Amino acid sequence: MLVYFVVPHFQIELSINMAPVHALITDALGLSISHKSIFSAIGNEAFLYDGNSRVQLPQRSAQKKVHGFAMSRANASSRLLLLHSETEFSLYKYDADKNEMPFQLQYVGETQDWINAAIFLDKSESNEFVLHMSHGAILQLQYHVDTKCRILELACCTDYSLLYHTLLQGSQYDELMIISGNGFGEILIWQPRDPVSCVPTKTYPLLWRLKAHNGVVFSIDYHLASGLMVTASDDRSLKFWQFPDEKQHAKEAVRPLFSCFGHTSRVMCAIIIEYAFIVVW
């Protein structure tokens, strides 16, 4: 397995005579890596890097920072790309065969809470996806070209902590693993399965609360095949965890394995890849 660590970078453009032509000073908040391409967001700008080319996504709002991406799971050249910026999300039709203007804006929606994460479910024709909010609520939605977006379920967890980072893992809604980090260094884990209440909103129980760090949790990644999880925090540390077998979720707890310090400053992101190496930068 390969673990990547990403730290903030800054960019500024000024003319020689210091005229206010263009200035961008911000951190890279959005990053999505696949085997063929990279989606990156720098402030309010989003880009696709594919080979030697770079394409900027046409955004409707120029005032909100892009925080994340999600790509539909359909095995086709034309897919849906979801981009979320604070309380707004945009759906684009992405045609990989088009060299010029591969993105077409299809839909723009707005939520009442900050969007932490998004994921498309494994239903190739239905275009179902899930949004997770910063206070623990999730929205299951379905996109149609004619009817636009339809809410299938609004649900929440029994814990209402303010969440700074969320990882959504899974391909089916009732099997989705929701792993979040709050400002107290805790990792909160739950699933939209077996609700404890259905009035007024479906409420699902918290499975695990892990005391992980001494600061805000910035990053969480989980490797399904090995059950390994890595978390990164404001306290400059990385922690590695072992999930129990899926059949033992109700009986066993997530075990801490070890911790380390990956950088002299904040580690913003840790990503587990398939090879057994650790790269730090």
| Residue-wise pLDDT tens digits, 51-76 | 777 788 776 555 778 888 898 876 66
* pLDDT, tens only, 114-163: 999 999 998 656 789 999 999 999 999 999 877 688 999 999 999 999 99
Quick one: CA dihedral 206, 120, 112, 60, positive or negative? positive
- Asked if residue 123 lies in contact with residue 175, where contact means CB atoms within 8 angstroms, the answer is no
Three-state secondary structure readout of the chain = CEEEEECCCCCCCCCCCCCCCCCCCCCCCEEEECCCCEEEEECCEEEEEECCEEEECCCCCCCCCCCEEEECCCCCCEEEEEEEECCEEEEEEEECCCCCCCEEEEEEEECCCCEEEEEECCCCCCCEEEEEECCCCEEEEEEECCCEEEEEEEEEECCCCCEEEEEEECCCHHHCEEEEEECCCEEEEECCCCCCECCCCEEECEEEEEECCCCCEEEEEEECCCCEEEEEECCCEEEEEECCCHHHCCCCCCEEEEEEECCCCCCCEEEEECCCEEECC
| Predicted local confidence at residue 35, as pLDDT | 61
How large is the average pLDDT for residues 257-271?
77
Q: Between residues 96 and 65, which one has the greater pLDDT?
A: 65
How large is the average pLDDT for residues 175-191?
95
Compute the half-sphere exposure of residue 14: CA atoms within 13 Å on the CB side of its CA.
7
Facing residues of 228 across strands? 223, 242
| Predicted local confidence at residue 253, as pLDDT | 83
Is the pLDDT assigned to residue 2 strictly greater than 70?
no
CA distances from 106 to 62, 91, 93 (A): 17, 5, 7
| Predicted local confidence at residue 56, as pLDDT | 80
Determine what percent of the chain is predicted with pLDDT higher than 90: 37
Burial code of 104-131, b = ≥16 C-beta within 10 A, e = fewer? eebbbbebeebbbbbbbbebeeebbbbb
Compute the half-sphere exposure of residue 83: CA atoms within 13 Å on the CB side of its CA.
34
Which among 137, 114, 118 is positioned nearest to 39, based on CA atoms? 118
| Predicted local confidence at residue 208, as pLDDT | 94
How large is the average pLDDT for residues 187-212?
93
Sheet holding 269-273, edge to edge: 269-273, 2-6, 277-279
In whole angstroms, give the CA distance from residue 239 to residue 70: 25
Tokens 């980090």, residue located: 181
In whole angstroms, give the CA distance from residue 127 to residue 72: 7
Vertex 64 angle, CA 189 and 270, to 5°? 40
* pLDDT, tens only, 5-33: 443 433 323 233 334 334 444 555 677 76
Share the mean pLDDT of the chain: 80
Is the pLDDT assigned to residue 101 strictly greater than 50?
yes
Report the 10 Å Cβ neighbour count for 92.
Answer: 22
